[in-house]
Amino acid sequence: MARGRLRVYLGAAPGVGKTYDMLSEAQRARERGRDVVVGFVETHGRARTAALLEGLEAVPRKTMVYRGATFTELDADAVIARRPRVALIDELAHTNVPGSRNAKRWQDIEEVLDAGIDVISTVNIQHLESVNDVVEQITGVPQRERVPDEVVRRADQIELVDMSPEALRRRLAHGNVYAPEKVDAALSNYFRVGNLTALREVALLWVAGKVDEQLDRYRADHGIEGTWEARERVVVALTGGPEGDTLVRRAARVAARSKGADLLAVHVTSADGLTDGDPAHLARQRTLVESVGGTYHQVVGDDIPRALLDFARGVNATQLVLGASRRGRFAQIFSRGVGVETTALSGPIDVHMITHEEVKKGRRPSSSKVLSRRRRLWGWAMAVVGMPALTALLSVFREDLSLPSEILFFLLMTVVVALVGGMWPAITAAVGGSLLLNWYFTPPTGELTIADPQNLFALIVFVVVAAAVSTIVDIAARRTREAARASADAEVLSALAGNVLRGDAAVPALLGRMRDTFGLDSVTLLERRPEAGLTPEVRAEPESWQVVAASGSGPCECPAAADTDVVIDDDLILAARGRLLEAEDQRVLEAFAAEAAVALRQKRLRAEAEQAKPLAEADRLRTALLAAVSHDLRTPLASAKAAVESLRNTAIPWSEADRAELLATADESLARLDRLVANLLDMSRLQAGVLGVSLEPVALEDVVPRAVDDLGPLRDRVDGDISPELPEVSADPTLLERVLVNLMTNAVRYSPPEEPVLITASRLGDQVQVRVIDRGPGIPADAHDRIFLPFQRLGDRDNQSGVGLGLALSRGLAEAMGGSLTPEETPGGGLTMVLTLPISPVPGRIPA
């Protein structure tokens, strides 16, 4: 059976019309004669959306009971048994009620698709796993219902339901999304213009990425290798030289001219892993690329132009940025160079050749000192002394050896010299050996003349072979040395990267590892003081520099005091003392220096973040307060105002019972308003540390009934069981009553109407525990601490149901009285709030 096709309507925010568009498509499909059923559609009380359900067959939902509450869920088995052509299943990211076969609705949809049924579903961008943290940063609201991106990316068709922020806010204001009493809070909180604009951009970028994937797959399936300029992509080639910084910045400007263009940097390494690129330069340029919004890539290839173009065509690049060649004119006679070759093969890709300061400096010389000085001296000694010694030895056996045999011995000696001393001593040995062969062993001997043309040919071949073998041996020795050096550098850089990944990248730790790696006396990170200038004389002025971090004895106080220094930027310099470093060592040292600078910046950013955290928290609280308190203030004010205006209306003859009811409504609303203002004031005093607490012995049997009476009409839903034998507790009676009222109000709000809230108390050691027990839906264990944050509501599903100060204030008041407030699960379902208070040491008296 063929798998069904999945079609997803993706929206940037709630209310953009995903379900409406899904149902509109279903009606059109039904009119075309397709068998369409409703598996699960949530209209959220929106009349226009509900009207589109008319005429569509609905599969009955599955009813489930969890912790005393009844829920309805998608019945996937019933949908599969019905076997329609198309099933409408709303809310792809929905979390099923515990006890369901699948934890998530998208897993139910997978079963329906496997049964060969097409599915149309909906999801908002904030529910995608990859952007969940970004959405939380934008809106401040964590999303607990998430769906893996791969589930949505596998969809056969994704339609973006787009709407401008202004249009969506108008839709909210007209009451087409939420109930009228929730509109103001929604507009001032989640549905702010900035939030909606950012969410819209996230949705558009995610869909654009999906479109790129579809385009790449289409081109691959149809064997299309040419570039399609559907989107500007700029590729910059990096060689690992100092000119890379200039190329990256120029490429970034090229990409910036095309709105939304991608920037990609690529470095080509040879297949043997050896490259003359500077690792420190590449590391710095990678950081630079990422800082301007690009990505860094590394590919392997011996033919650099073709490797560059293969990469560019693979990413569908439209422009390629290269640096001007630093090769001399003589070298260009034998090879056109990477730039010219790449331009000739580029086809429709535009190639930019960028000049730079390094052009006039010529090509980077490769290290010629691959052998130690001692080995080179031995090589020259063997060439100068060894060849005559070999001549003397072979002269003894002249009668027994032929000229070809003597040539082979001289060739063997030349190879030995090449292995020991390198190419130039070996070439010298080859030339000298040919002269000795000619003088001592080639007839006529004792003359630099050759009678037999074959002997002349043999000597020429000897010189050519000796030179070729010497060159090959020297190259092999060079490569071996480079490979060993690269392996050692890679090991050091791998250890450095491991420190970073493990979080050990503190500046002193990096400097200490640097000192141990290179055997230095001290390593110092210096920073230029703000008042110091940029003149060269500043390098020798200790008062112009400050030591940021150091490792070892005798740290440098200025760059001029160092044996080796690495300039990181205009203000940071790494100074090393102990010995002069070779060029290869200094390249690795530059990588360490770049990492030390990054670690320093991270440290300072963390410090700034810690300093800003209290301000951000205060700003978050103020934002949440302004967003939520408007609703909580408006509701009691509106009720009280309506009751008073009704009483003042003399045109209506109110009965005594009506007048009493209106007065009671006004009284209850004003009392609620008074509690809200008192909670806000007390919360502010708690956060400021100025809340006055007057502890005294308090009998719970006196305080609990008063707290129950303060509940007003809700008092009938609370049952108390407080033993008069309990000892008195040390508490502030007024604050304790406030805590109990908040806890009982919260419990009544979430308990089913038929389930009373129970309040009990018991002694535990030198403490008394008061328990407020409800039979509501309860709270997950991982959310127990979160419910005590100010302006939090159970589940955080909306920001319009109240300020959410009750539990935060209650815990603060309990701790101010020397007690604690903790949540527990109620056996059988629900939540139990445990208020623990210390027993008064002496009944009737609290010691000073």
H or E element, residue 523 = strand 522-528
Cα(first)–Cα(last) distance of the chain, in Å? 83
Question: Do 804 and 790 contact (CB within 8 A), yes or no?
Answer: yes
Residues in contact with 613: Cβ distance below 8 Å, sequence separation at least 6, in sequence order: none
* 3-class secondary structure, 437: helix
Distance CA 774, CA 772 (A): 7
Distance CA 302, CA 712 (A): 84
Residues in contact with 675: Cβ distance below 8 Å, sequence separation at least 6, in sequence order: 741
Considering only CA atoms, give the Rg of the chain.
41
pLDDT computed for residue 799 by the predictor: 37
* Residues 648, 650, 656: CA angle, nearest 5 degrees: 80
Q: Chunked in runs of 10, what are the mean pLDDT values of the chain (848 residues)?
A: 90 91 93 94 88 92 86 93 94 90 93 94 91 83 85 90 89 82 77 88 83 67 60 86 86 78 85 59 82 83 83 84 70 64 83 75 47 80 89 84 83 83 81 82 74 69 74 73 67 60 62 77 86 73 86 84 80 82 68 78 81 70 54 70 82 82 83 73 61 83 87 83 88 86 86 88 91 87 72 42 60 86 87 92 49
Distance CA 823, CA 787 (A): 9
pLDDT computed for residue 845 by the predictor: 40
Instruction: Examine residue 142 and say whether the peptide bond preceding it is cis (omega within 30 degrees of 0).
Output: no
Question: Do 439 and 455 contact (CB within 8 A), yes or no?
Answer: no
pLDDT computed for residue 734 by the predictor: 82
Distance CA 86, CA 38 (A): 9
Torsion sign, CA atoms 135, 137, 141, 146:
positive
Q: Which residue has the tokens 């090769």?
A: 327
* Residues 363, 365, 370: CA angle, nearest 5 degrees: 160
* 3-class secondary structure, 534: coil
Helices (H) and strands (E) in the chain, counts: 25, 24
Distance CA 264, CA 234 (A): 6
Question: Do 543 and 558 contact (CB within 8 A), yes or no?
Answer: no
Question: Do 64 and 35 contact (CB within 8 A), yes or no?
Answer: no
- H helices within 328-372, ranges in order? 329-334, 338-345
Residue 344: exposure state from Cβ atoms within 10 A (0-12, 13-18, ≥19): exposed
Q: State the helix-helix crossing angle for 403-421 and 423-436, rounded to 10 degrees.
A: 160
Distance CA 354, CA 326 (A): 12
pLDDT computed for residue 365 by the predictor: 43
Structure tokens at 381: 């000694």
pLDDT computed for residue 87 by the predictor: 95
Distance CA 416, CA 390 (A): 12
pTM exceeding 0.85 = no
pLDDT computed for residue 336 by the predictor: 63
pLDDT computed for residue 510 by the predictor: 75
Distance CA 742, CA 440 (A): 115
Residues in contact with 275: Cβ distance below 8 Å, sequence separation at least 6, in sequence order: 240, 269
Distance CA 332, CA 325 (A): 10
pLDDT computed for residue 372 by the predictor: 66
pLDDT computed for residue 796 by the predictor: 35
Nearest to 807 by CA among 821, 819, 796, 824: 821
Torsion sign, CA atoms 470, 471, 477, 481:
positive
Distance CA 371, CA 373 (A): 7
Structure tokens at 487: 């392996």
Structure tokens at 562: 């160092």
Nearest to 263 by CA among 239, 240, 241, 285: 285
The region that residue 541 occupies, defined by phi over 0 for left and psi between -120 and 50 for alpha, beta otherwise, is beta
Instruction: Examine residue 508 and say whether the peptide bond preceding it is cis (omega within 30 degrees of 0).
Output: no
Q: What secondary structure does DSSP assign to 729-792, as a single string?
A: EEE-HHHHHHHHHHHHHHHHHHS-TTS-EEEEEEEETTEEEEEEE--SS---GGGTTGGGSTT-
Q: Which residue has the tokens 């815990």?
A: 811
Nearest to 14 by CA among 136, 208, 209, 169: 169
